Structure 1
Amino acid sequence: MIDLPGSTRVDRRLPKEAFYKHLSISAALKAKFVSDIDRITIKNSLTKENLNLVDDTDIKEILVLSIELKEKDFDKKIVEAIARQNPHKLLFLLRYEDQVQCVIYHSKLYCSKWMSEEELALTLKGNSLNEIWDDLIQQVAIHNENVAKMNQISVNEELKLQDRIEQLIKNIEKTKKAVWKEKQPKKKFKLYQDLQAYSKELKELTDGQA
């Protein structure tokens, strides 16, 4: 469950047509907007005032949008378009039947896994909207356990580190397959060297030594 103060509750439904008309998207994406989305509701509005925060920040409002879907596997470019063209910071709760997925945009889209309402656990942490926003990004976007334990770096550094770890894991798997297939000794040796380098870097990053 998402435990948000009652003072932030809005629960205002937004007409789909009025919503997508303000978006600069292709006709095909507008068609998907209509066909894939059932309803959009502003669930919560997080502001300095209704959260009784002291610090002023460049972020003035964070909106929690609930989007009920007709299709679970829908085009997330719709969500990205909404996030990129909206002046507010947006936390999306995508809902399909009895499942929910959290989506947040920070340079790119980050999605949680699909889960039941009971499994969903998001909290507000921070003394300002900037801190709360960074923490929401961490809760939704950071899924690597090693990265999640590194509290001494910024959220942007965490995301960059997580991306690099994921890329190294892909490189290692790809190179392992290439090593087994390669017949020429020189090329095989070069691939093996690459594999060792990837593995060494991955160990350093996951051990927090890099």
Structure 2
Amino acid sequence: MLGLPKTTEFNKRIPKQKFYENMDISPTLKKIFVEQVKIIYWRNKIAASTTNLAPGNNVTELEVFEVRLNNPVLDENLLKQIDKEISYHILFLLEYQGKYQAWIGYKEATISGNNAFKVNGYYHTEWLPVDELPLKLEGLNVDAVYENFVRQIAGNKLNTQNDCESLKESVERDEQKQALQKQIATLQAKVRKEKQLNKQMQMNNELKKLKKKLEEM
């Protein structure tokens, strides 16, 4: 898949029961597994041992999981739970009726260590034929391949004119932008409901400041 080297192919079907029986998940997540997921395949393992890439400092292996769905919507919390339980980085390929979405999160080890990871959120593509997914194996080591996959899937959201900006910094900047956009939308809704002119003017001044801050980011 994705034109990845033959040496990375694994193509092992993993019964979904193995996930929800061996993970500490809530009844709600188990229900999502049962109702939304049809089949899970472990398609590829991208590592120094399966490619001519150098090992990464932060990413030792990058797994490619194909998740075939019963409907075109999957709860993001399910992907997050799988990511938290598996100590390797994961590229998810969601499949529904022959079309695919690529999903990937910025995943990093927690300060506590113990193979514990956190994923704040995910970037994903639109539904596309598999050969149109914007994914290319680029980089000299596994860290770089992972970073490029994240940036390829995120597209304009992580674009930067600062060549020195790390992936972590790009993701944090995007999260700050999203928080600011929510703040602006909330304030705009309040302005529309406010009857008093002086309060409207105060809120509009605050809106201008927030919008300027967003532009500067």
Is 2:172 aligned against 1:148? no
Judging changes above 3 Å, is the alpha-carbon distance between structure 1 residues 76 and 58 closer, same or farther for their aligned structure 2 residues?
closer
Is 2:100 aligned against 1:88? no
> Which residue in 2 is equivalent to 1:114?
126
Question: Percent identity over the alignment?
Answer: 27
> Which residue in 2 is equivalent to 1:123?
136
Provide the rounded CA distance (Å) in 2 between the counterparts of 1:149 and 1:124: 21
1:136 Cα deviation (Å)?
1.7
Provide the rounded CA distance (Å) in 1 between the counterparts of 2:205 and 2:146: 41
1:83 Cα deviation (Å)?
0.7
Judging changes above 3 Å, is the alpha-carbon distance between structure 1 residues 56 and 199 closer, same or farther for their aligned structure 2 residues?
closer
1:123 Cα deviation (Å)?
1.0
Q: Is the 8 A contact 1:142 1:159 kept in 2?
A: no
> Which residue in 1 is equivalent to 2:62?
62
Q: Is the 8 A contact 1:40 1:66 kept in 2?
A: yes
1:189 Cα deviation (Å)?
2.2
Judging changes above 3 Å, is the alpha-carbon distance between structure 1 residues 75 and 180 closer, same or farther for their aligned structure 2 residues?
closer
1:24 Cα deviation (Å)?
0.8
Q: Is the 8 A contact 2:134 2:153 kept in 1?
A: no
Q: Is the 8 A contact 1:99 1:114 kept in 2?
A: no
Provide the rounded CA distance (Å) in 2 between the counterparts of 1:155 and 1:142: 13
Judging changes above 3 Å, is the alpha-carbon distance between structure 1 residues 133 and 113 closer, same or farther for their aligned structure 2 residues?
closer
1:120 Cα deviation (Å)?
0.9
Judging changes above 3 Å, is the alpha-carbon distance between structure 1 residues 126 and 81 closer, same or farther for their aligned structure 2 residues?
same
Q: How does 1:11-26 map to 2 (within 5 A)?
A: 11-26=11-26
TM-score in terms of structure 2 length: 0.83
Is 2:215 aligned against 1:203? yes
Code of the aligned partner of 1:203: E
Code of the aligned partner of 1:42: W
Is 2:2 aligned against 1:2? yes
Gap regions ≥5 residues in structure 1: 206-210
Q: Give the SS at the match of 1:49.
A: coil
Q: Give the SS at the match of 1:83.
A: helix
Is 2:41 aligned against 1:29? no
Provide the rounded CA distance (Å) in 2 between the counterparts of 1:179 and 1:148: 32
1:32 Cα deviation (Å)?
2.3
Gap regions ≥5 residues in structure 2: 107-118
Is 2:171 aligned against 1:159? yes
CA RMSD of aligned residues (A): 2.1
Provide the rounded CA distance (Å) in 2 between the counterparts of 1:186 and 1:50: 65
